[in-house]
Structure 1
């Protein structure tokens, strides 16, 4: 639109014309009725007018009738009343369609003002840039408040010395103080800090010296948990040089600490970012090629702050020569993308040392799309690089920090079906960004797991109903490929002028959930096994114990009753063997069994096993031949013996009358092959297919042969856990051959490995019963709350060990009685009604009069970890229930030889 020439019903004088036309303000003369009579060039350019405006009103030219009727009415009323008018903000669109604003002053003219026939002077001061700056300031302020809120940043001041304080809203929320009461005094403030972290003289001393300070500590939360806070403050002095005020900021680091516990490497890096504290910020002005830094950046470089910035040549001179090409390439890459670009380089400090600095930059462009500057942040990662030497991996992970941390960010305005996501949200749910953010209904019906949809609807309703309150919940999503992932969401509903908005973050915690589930399952199984073992062994202790005592009663010698007692003992031992096998199998399947692989001379293990199965072989009429061998395997000694015993027991049970068992050993290269062959019934191909299935007796359960079908399952699991394998060959009517392959040990064998474990051999049954032991010196104190167990052990000790014994039914009572009695041996149950066996042992060791008494744990808790824990606690031995009378008495003879 062409610039109009000055218009006038009666042109002003030439002097006034020259003056008004030269003015940079927007001027117009109106006739008494308010129609435009003349405008200066500045007004013509601003509103884009031509000769057609002659006779139009100012409201028509500015378009006020359409977009601001209230201002149009104000103009008309002022003209009618012939009163001056001032409008602080008038807006219109110029010839190019750009929005413009101005301050408008309408003034009636008098006759002596030498502007003939003109009734009004309109002056407009262009405020377009000021308006834009104010709008930008509002946006920046909102972003700062949002960043402050999501970053949990609180600001404060305190007058010195430790006087009145001034807090912002986030400080009150962070510290859980009532804003209505004002900022708390220093004493109340310190009381909320963890005792180990409370600032002492260091904090007060800082108030005496101007400068910047920082400290990390924990504060109590309303729930009683501790939150991590990073405090930074500056002590400022007055004109007299005396410190008079502290200003500071506090950042709530709790979430980062929690993430650090939940995630491995990535969480540690996020924690590192928090620990670094201040972030260096820099700006590269591409127009003058100078780089401007904040104080933290100058601190990293080790040079004094320079407000005028540094020339690009100066900065590149500080970069390590080997890193300059990468820096230049990164800058070029950034010019071709609007995405952040990360880079790591070494910078030389003033003292000549180099610091590793990780920078992230993004390019800013003008309205024409031309790059004007780089904005960036930098972190000093020197210590981390020096410690880990994984700088490239660190740079790559920080390049996609949000993705690596499983952190998605979203926002949505209520009422809108679609919101805004960052890239990590798309990656988290496996959705292409090209598909856009899913609608709310699509999110609930297609992304959220069906079992969690109703809960998510409730969470959304709760979020809409809250204000400035963080809502947190966990839920599952189903990715397009069918994978189910667990997410934690933290969201807030924030009301704004003219509307509201919802913000939130989402974190992928699938691994944490799976780990927790696995831990709970493992713990539950361990607790079940321990409880099952204890509950089954406790009644068996009474059954087997009293049956063994009856078997030693001289009055029953040779009677039919004695044979029945032996049946009770046999049945009880069979049940105990079944319990042990089931527990072993369950522990192996859950990974609870801990093996101790070491060099084991196989010959010694075979002899130990042979001694234990010989009574059963004699009774069955089966002969056993064992080859001599000096080979050494790498295995767990006790578990290897258990494997051999199980194989020999099966070879005896399923052998023929006057059958034979042969145990051979041969070299298998890297492995040693142990072979157990029998001349028994053998197995069919169909039976062998189910040989190692737990509780599968392969049909022999109907033949009256004792067993539970668990032994071979335990054998296979133990051998494989020791790095070996089991193979079987069998022919019906001929026999079976089991081959166990175990890793060979090459090298010397230590004396501890070569020493065979003592084996309690069981003599063949005879009609002659062991006579009662005569009385001998020795006092035993038994701490046991179960009266049946106490009665059983008292009978065994008095009648067959010849020792004095006294029982006490509580842990604390036992400690007191031990101090009075000073026995030679204390037998101690591990589960007592007041304190456990470990507490009893600890109290006994604390008293000089009882510290040297030998204590033996006697418990139905027979899990390996129970035995290991008791041994580590200082018990002299650990005897399990049910009690084997012969082993029990032999152990007493060994501890109290008389």
Structure 2
């Protein structure tokens, strides 16, 4: 008897159903958790079923999947610009039976679009007809965003490169050879499609053939140094273009090295710097021309210095001789000293105007010291009084209690500035007018020196032009002489002395210019008085009691007569003259004088050559030689001192200075 089995078919079927539900639930959780969107398209009924986490992230619920269940409804949610392309991809898939792989934008529940990628395949039924297409969607929005950013970055780099007009080149060790951009070949005058570039030859060789032969070693060395890791690749070299024109290129690049230190790739650029190089050549040419012009200017200034000093030598030299005459009246002595002071002032101006170093540097040095303002005003009045008298202009000063006030200034520059203001006040005044100089104390220990005139004044709309160089405010149309630079120079001089120059003016009333300068309160009054004492014109004493022979080598008759008259005042000295260089050498050897005074500009042989000859001669090498020349530029003085002169004096000769040097030379 067979026992009844415990097998129950209904129970087994129930277990299978439960197992199937569990499996379906697990797959559903996997689908939803994966972030993918799953779908199935019945190609016969056009029904679409879809599910998965992808759709949920787009905002669609289970209810939406039930309503949007046709292919047409799904297609309407694809971006209009992508619908044709996705349909082409589907038709191509069905025709070729290759898996479907496409990208498009799909609409979210909120109405915007995200990028998705679709992958699908199709199941074929009876008669080999497509029956069901199944696939998966996933979000690639971030990937598309990155791609867009990369494209924008690439486009930006391309725009930058195109804007710079630089050629780009690259080298890869695993690919062999160089790649040059189209712009590189344009620099040489080629089109990238020219036959010479498409014959299969290594393009680096083609490029090297265009490098100027003398620059090829420099190019190769720079590249080798960089690939060896020892230096940057940055080299300027010339290339010969297709037309034969020579152009300049600046090549720069950087290599990438592997772990063993070998270069694996290198990228760089070629910049056309031809115009820069041509500009540099023009600058160098202009610099050479400027240097030649500067040398010509120096020669001109040196010559002018010599020519101006020669007549001044006579003027100042002979006025000094009057100091030795005891039969002049007091008034005559005063007049002579005024002439001498005027000459010395002119000499000082010449010194500064012709000082090449000062002109080239664009600035003029000042020597600040305590200056007694009232004394400067008095001296300036002496200069301009004849000019004022000619126009019937009353010239006076209002000093109040500032007669003994000192300012910190450069005496010569201060006098030059005040003279220019006084001269302008007289020139632009009316006939019978007046010019007043007034002193007023200002805050912060400043003294104001005002020059007031009663002229026609400066129109208000043109007062801003007063300190413009070469602008004479229409005075060039009058008979008043001037260059239009005096006030500009005056302002610069005042500011160099840490002062200030300004003005006020009213038409038909007059103009007032004033100079503000710091007072000299910080100086000791005793020292101030000492500094500002009158120049001592007392003839210098010769401190020797023996007879001395002096040889003077000079070709200018006026200068010879001047020194003859000077030496006639000193009986201890006998002067012998040699009017040309060879005679001077002969007399030096034969007379063996106690000292020689030697001019520099001599005919046939200059003073330096004479000095050299005398220094090499055993008979004359110990004789002190004093240079005396109208060559008074700074470099002339420096050259004279370096050449071996005992001293180098400049014309116009200062008698006291010359006697002082002779005292040093002749005192035993």
TM-score range, shorter chain: 0.3 to 0.5
Return the structure number with greater helix share.
Answer: 2
Which of structures 1 and 2 has the larger relative contact order (alpha carbons within 8 angstroms, sep 6+)? 2
Question: Computing the radius of gyration over CA atoms, which structure comes out larger, 1 or 2?
Answer: 2
Q: TM-score, normalised by structure 2?
A: 0.46
Q: TM-score, normalised by structure 1?
A: 0.36
